Structure 1
Amino acid sequence: MIAEITEDGTATVEAKFARVQRLAETHMALFPVPRQLPGLPYLGDAGTGGGLFRAMWADFLAETAELTGVSAFQEISDAYREVSKKWTGVAGLLHEAGVASSRESLHSASKLVHEAAEEEQHLMSRLMELSS
């Protein structure tokens, strides 16, 4: 563990990033990323914080921004909140498709899944850049 303290008693950037890394490891242990799309209830809320845990992930990134002072983490947090809304929208469309036997709702859900996935790929790339 890096615990470097500056002369004024504040933690160094390295120490802050070490804390963020420990928070990330704890988060991943508590909330592992599903390997396949879970059942419909999890797409909405069902204890996930909303949007397939994306709202919780956004909270984690906002805390990371606060702890490190790196504004890019807040920007990514805000973007994850929008992605969370898309996943919640997918849940609504899938529910609608099931209730109304609507192919249009399924098509819309499919498009929204692709949009969310592309955005998440971009956001994860940004996070990887920040970690290197």
Structure 2
Amino acid sequence: MKTRILLLTAVAALAGSAVAGGGSRASGNINPSAPTSVSSRTFHYTCDGGRKISVSYVNYGADGPLFAVLNWNGQQYGLAQAISASGARYASLYGPTVSGGGLEWWEHQGQADLSTFVGTDTSSTRPLLTNCKPGR
């Protein structure tokens, strides 16, 4: 249920930003009057050491933004798609207070890693979960 609320909140924020930006596809914003769809797929990963994480990948519209909602250690974290040289990378400046920085989820060729940013430096990370694979 919490995942559904987080997904709906993300979609509402997107719709609000599209309205604020004029809502034109030509300007790069989502047209709020156009039919849109939200889809998600959830994967359950097992990482080194037997640690578990569930990730819901959310797509807003046919070519809209992508998000990842991580369920880890009893908490949920929403991460936006980020630039990567290869694979699918998701990042957020917010993460568990224990790590002191945001989170980065990077999936590539069937395996993923969860890292935390070192302080506010988004170019430096420290691993939290490694070699995560779905369905194992």
Q: Same fold (TM over 0.5)?
A: no
TM-score w.r.t. length of structure 2 = 0.24
Structure 1 or 2, whichever has the larger Rg, is 1
**Greater share of residues in helix:** 1
**Greater share of residues in strand:** 2
